[in-house]
């Protein structure tokens, strides 16, 4: 099982290139990543996933510019049942959701982050990394039959679905152009905008250091960080954009990996949901008008 992670890390060393505005991983990040594990585990608890999934450790390679989060599940059947139940209720792949959250919490781009999952019963494993623009998931073959679970999931982040343009490729171009025009340096002098793409139709959009964009009517002034995980897909002859929105905010600018911030989807959900409603309408109008 350990060999799978070594293979993935080796492939990443050959193929991965960091984004220009993303900080390379250094030994100074070690303390931050330990705190990130605690934040990730708190998210698992808040969403209800912690009954089956636990964040336990991380593996960091400065030379390869990679950090991999270690997750432990109780046993294979529990894990597969959780994945099946989540997909039935939300239409989303739980493996991808865990990966997205890891990137957001650890403040890395999609070529710098990964997940290694093992079961306490030693009957299951999964390794997940982006290699050569594709999200690679290596997972043990199922030996047990998953069942639907009864406990509810708590949706923390904003989400939305809008109808796309004539093709997946054209919709992706419009989506990136929308965010470039909306979060431009003229209106947002300190903004950093980054696009991470994989699997040909997944885009991670990171907007960092807007000022009072989400909290426009708040008493204090905040710097904000938004992460949007978008999937552009075709269904029944139409193209759609499905996305999740996560956010954090701070009294000071987001520079290198920092911990002095607050999470919008836990402490300020009303602001995040209101902003998401506005953003969804703007994306929909932009695609229809272009």
Residue 90 has pLDDT above 90, yes or no: no
pLDDT, tens digit, 9 for 90 and up, residues 122-164: 889 999 999 999 999 999 998 888 888 876 666 666 788 999 9
What are 156-194's pLDDT values in tens digits?
A: 667 889 999 899 999 999 999 999 999 999 999 999 999
How many residues are recorded in the chain?
290
Tens-place pLDDT, residues 190-241: 999 999 999 989 999 999 999 888 987 767 889 999 999 999 999 999 999 9
User: Can you give the residue ranges of every domain in the chain?
Assistant: 2-139, 158-289
Contact indicator for 104, 10 with CB cutoff of 8 Å: no
Of 2-16, 51-65, 109-123, the least confident: 2-16
User: What dihedral angle (degrees, nearest 10) is formed by the CA atoms of 32, 33, 35, 37?
Assistant: 170
CB 142 within 8 A of CB 80: yes
Q: Which of 45, 279, 83, 55 is nearest to 178 (CA)?
A: 279
Q: What is the mean predicted confidence (pLDDT) over 80-100?
A: 92
Show the tokens assigned to 121.
């019963």
CATH code of domain 158-289: 3.30.530.50
pLDDT tens digits, residue range 241-286?
999 999 999 988 988 787 788 888 766 678 888 899 999 999 999 9
């Amino acid at each position: 099982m350990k060999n799978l992670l070594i293979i993935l890390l080796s492939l990443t060393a050959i193929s991965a290139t960091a984004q220009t505005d993303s900080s390379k991983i250094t030994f100074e990040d070690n303390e931050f990543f330990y705190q990130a594990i605690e934040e990730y585990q708190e998210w698992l608890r808040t969403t209800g996933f912690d009954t089956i999934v636990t964040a336990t450790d991380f593996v960091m390679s400065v030379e390869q510019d990679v950090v991999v989060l270690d997750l432990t599940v109780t046993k294979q059947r529990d894990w597969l049942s959780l994945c099946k139940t989540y997909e039935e209720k939300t239409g989303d792949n739980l493996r991808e959701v865990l990966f997205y959250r890891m990137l957001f919490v650890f403040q890395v781009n999609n070529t710098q982050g990964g997940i290694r999952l093992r079961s306490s019963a030693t009957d299951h494993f999964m390794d997940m990394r982006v290699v050569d623009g594709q999200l690679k998931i290596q997972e043990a073959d199922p030996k047990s039959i998953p069942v639907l679970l009864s406990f509810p999931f708590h949706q923390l982040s904003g989400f939305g679905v809008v109808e796309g343009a004539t093709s997946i490729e054209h919709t992706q171009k419009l989506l990136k152009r929308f965010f470039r025009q909306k979060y431009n340096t003229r209106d947002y002098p300190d903004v950093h905008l980054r696009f991470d793409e994989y699997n040909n139709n997944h885009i991670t959009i990171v907007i960092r250091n807007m000022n009072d964009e989400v909290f426009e009517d708040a008493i204090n002034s905040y710097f904000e960080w938004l992460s949007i995980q978008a999937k552009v897909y075709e269904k029944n002859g139409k193209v759609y954009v499905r996305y999740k929105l996560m956010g954090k905010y701070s009294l000071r600018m987001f520079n290198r990996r920092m911990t002095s911030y607050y999470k919008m989807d836990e402490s300020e959900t009303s602001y995040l949901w209101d902003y998401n409603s506005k953003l969804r309408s703007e994306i929909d109008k932009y695609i229809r008008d272009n």
